[in-house]
């Protein structure tokens, strides 16, 4: 941490993931002692966030509760570091400002599914890319530099590049370093297409379609089906091609192709979807750019 301090920007942040273990049936105190040592060294502890690991399989002793959360400690050298409380906020109709719908503030927990981890990289303690992206959006701006002192296979770096940040990483294990470099080169070449960060839940998507765009129920059903058949088909992981054909879509919403075709033309005219007609084949349908992080 002493080496990080000179490189930290005036409003920069340091995020540390630490969770205590158990020894002889008692919870260890190394996390508390580490936090106290950093505070004694002049660092300001601003808040303790929690990472809720959805999809985590049972582990540990049978008699213990299933551990599904870990702590993320937020440190800085200032009491006013950069923070964007709307960066990962979801569309909501529970507002007190008179607006029908708005983007809500983030809570003090980050939800990220551990089942999405890419086991093929062989790292024993990978962070989900979705968690890295949430943290980077919240605590940095476009063009900022993200530093990971324990880069592993460069999941933080991949997230940083996708979100148009610079990245510096350190890793002492040569096999992980090589894998991380290969991942970073591939991300620089080809960027994935993902659903907009404010539309990551079914509820947020429904509020946006019904109350923000004021779409009729049949259009809402159609757009939801496009999302389900493209972005969410991959189990939440980023996908590189987002398109579905007209016949598949008609079957999904249990409507005739003619009815779906009319609705698609109206949605395309409004810019909500994109539609590519192909001679002799079904049209390809995808989401408009407002729905996507590209």
- The pTM assigned to this predicted structure is 0.80
User: pLDDT by residue (tens digit) across 210-269?
Assistant: 988 899 998 999 888 888 777 665 444 444 445 677 777 888 888 888 888 888 888 888
pLDDT of residue 195: 75
Q: How far apart are CA 103 and CA 118, in angstroms?
A: 31
User: pLDDT by residue (tens digit) across 15-41?
Assistant: 999 988 888 888 899 999 999 999 999
Backbone angles phi, psi at 45, to 5 degrees: -85, 115
Looking at the DSSP assignment, which residues form a beta bridge with residue 74? 15, 47
Q: How far apart are CA 170 and CA 165, in angstroms?
A: 17
Give average pLDDT by consecutive 10-residue segment, the chain, 294 residues. Answer: 90 94 86 96 96 74 79 96 93 76 90 68 78 94 94 90 92 90 73 75 89 90 84 51 71 85 86 70 68 70
pLDDT of residue 129: 84
- The verdict on 172 and 230 lying in the same domain is no
- The verdict on 16 and 98 lying in the same domain is yes
Q: Is 51 exposed, middle or buried (0-12, 13-18, 19+ CB in 10 A)?
A: buried
pLDDT of residue 191: 60
137 Cβ neighbours under 8 A, 6+ residues apart:
84, 87, 88, 163, 197
Q: How many residues does the chain have?
A: 294
Backbone angles phi, psi at 164, to 5 degrees: 65, 45
- The verdict on 225 and 177 lying in the same domain is no
pLDDT of residue 83: 96
Q: Which of 190, 213, 247 is the last residue of a domain?
A: 190
Q: What is the residue-wise DSSP string for 156-221?
A: HHHHHHHTT-EEEE----HHHHHHHHHHHHHHHH---BEE-GGG-SHHHHHHIIIIIS---HHHHH
- Are the CB atoms for 144 and 165 separated by under 8 Å? yes
The candidate with the shortest Cα–Cα distance to 136, out of 166, 111, 114, 101, is 166
CATH of the domain at 110: 3.40.50.150
Domain count across the chain: 2
pLDDT of residue 238: 47
- The verdict on 159 and 58 lying in the same domain is yes
- The verdict on 163 and 216 lying in the same domain is no
């Amino acid at each position: 941490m002493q080496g990080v301090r000179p490189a930290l920007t005036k409003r920069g942040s340091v995020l540390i993931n630490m969770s205590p273990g158990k020894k002889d049936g008692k919870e260890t105190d190394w996390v508390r002692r580490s936090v106290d040592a950093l505070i004694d060294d002049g660092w300001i502890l601003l808040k303790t966030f929690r990472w809720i690991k959805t999809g985590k399989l049972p582990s540990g002793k049978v008699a213990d509760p299933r551990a599904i959360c870990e702590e993320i400690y937020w440190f800085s050298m200032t009491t006013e570091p950069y923070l964007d409380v709307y960066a990962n906020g979801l569309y909501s109709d529970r507002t007190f400002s008179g607006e029908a719908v708005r983007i809500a503030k983030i809570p003090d927990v980050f939800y990220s599914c551990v089942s999405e981890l890419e086991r093929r990289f062989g790292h024993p303690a990978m962070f989900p890319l979705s968690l890295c992206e949430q943290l980077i959006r919240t605590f940095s701006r476009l063009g900022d530099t993200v530093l990971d002192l324990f880069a592993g296979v460069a999941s933080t770096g991949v997230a940083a590049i996708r979100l148009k940040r610079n990245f510096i990483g350190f890793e002492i294990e040569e096999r992980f370093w090589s894998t991380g470099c290969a991942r970073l080169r591939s991300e620089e070449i080809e960027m994935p297409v993902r659903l907009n960060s404010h539309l990551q839940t079914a509820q947020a998507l429904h509020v946006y379609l019904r109350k923000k765009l004021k779409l009729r129920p049949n259009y809402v059903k159609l757009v939801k089906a496009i999302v389900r058949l493209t972005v969410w088909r991959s189990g939440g992981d980023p996908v590189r091609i987002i398109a579905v054909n007209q016949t598949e879509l008609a079957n999904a919403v249990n409507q005739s192709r003619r009815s779906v075709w009319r609705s698609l033309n109206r949605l395309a005219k409004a810019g909500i979807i994109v539609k590519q007609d192909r001679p002799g084949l079904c049209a390809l349908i995808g989401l408009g750019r407002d729905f996507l992080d590209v």
